[in-house]
């Protein structure tokens, strides 16, 4: 099936650093979602974006829906050890709103 290009694949950072990750698609999406998965658990929704250009924050997390509707990014400011996990992007297009297209994830490790 179709997949999104999510980068970077993994990151190892120092506590306090800012983090940025992004997803790109070859087709236009009308929804972008960002999820975090803690080790051994199911993914949990962080931020949902529904409009091109939309910029939404959730605490130290900020995500944007790209103007072209083919990309999105997630930033984490002032990282802390509990930010460790896998971050997934997902998108859907008008053709099939029930079926999300997923990135392969960004694995984040934070050194205290």
Query: Which residues share a beta bridge with 106?
Result: 87
Give the residue carrying structure tokens 């934070």.
110
Residue 59 touches other proteins, criterion: CB under 8 A? no
Scan for tokens 């297009």, then name that residue.
Answer: 93
User: What pairs with residue 12 in β-bridges?
Assistant: 109
Q: Cα dihedral sign for 51, 52, 57, 62? A: positive
What's the closest the beta carbon of residue 99 comes to other proteins, in angstroms? 7
Q: Does 95 bind other proteins (CB under 8 A)?
A: no
Region from 14-22, 61-69, 74-82, 96-104 binding other proteins, contact rule CB under 8 A? 96-104
Residue 28 bridge partners (DSSP): none
Calculate the alpha carbon distances from 10 to 52, 57, 109 in Å: 27, 22, 8
Q: Is position 92 an interface residue for other proteins (rule: CB under 8 A)?
A: yes
As measured in angstroms, the least distance from the Cβ of 3 to other proteins is 7
Binding mask 2-41 for other proteins (x = CB under 8 A): -x---------------------------x-x-x----xx
Binding residues for other proteins, per CB under 8 A? 1, 3, 31, 33, 35, 40-45, 48, 50, 88, 90, 92, 97-100, 102-105
């Amino acid at each position: 099936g179709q997949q999104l290009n999510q980068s970077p694949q993994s990151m190892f950072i120092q506590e306090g650093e800012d983090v940025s990750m992004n997803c790109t698609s070859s087709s236009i999406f009308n929804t972008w979602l960002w999820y975090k998965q803690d080790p051994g658990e199911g993914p949990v929704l962080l931020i949902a974006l529904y409009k091109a250009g939309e910029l939404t924050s959730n605490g130290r997390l900020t995500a944007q829906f790209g103007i072209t509707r083919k990309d999105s990014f997630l930033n984490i400011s002032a990282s802390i050890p509990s930010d460790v996990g896998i971050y997934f992007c997902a998108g859907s297009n008008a053709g099939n709103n029930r079926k999300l297209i997923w990135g392969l994830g960004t694995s984040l490790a934070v050194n205290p």
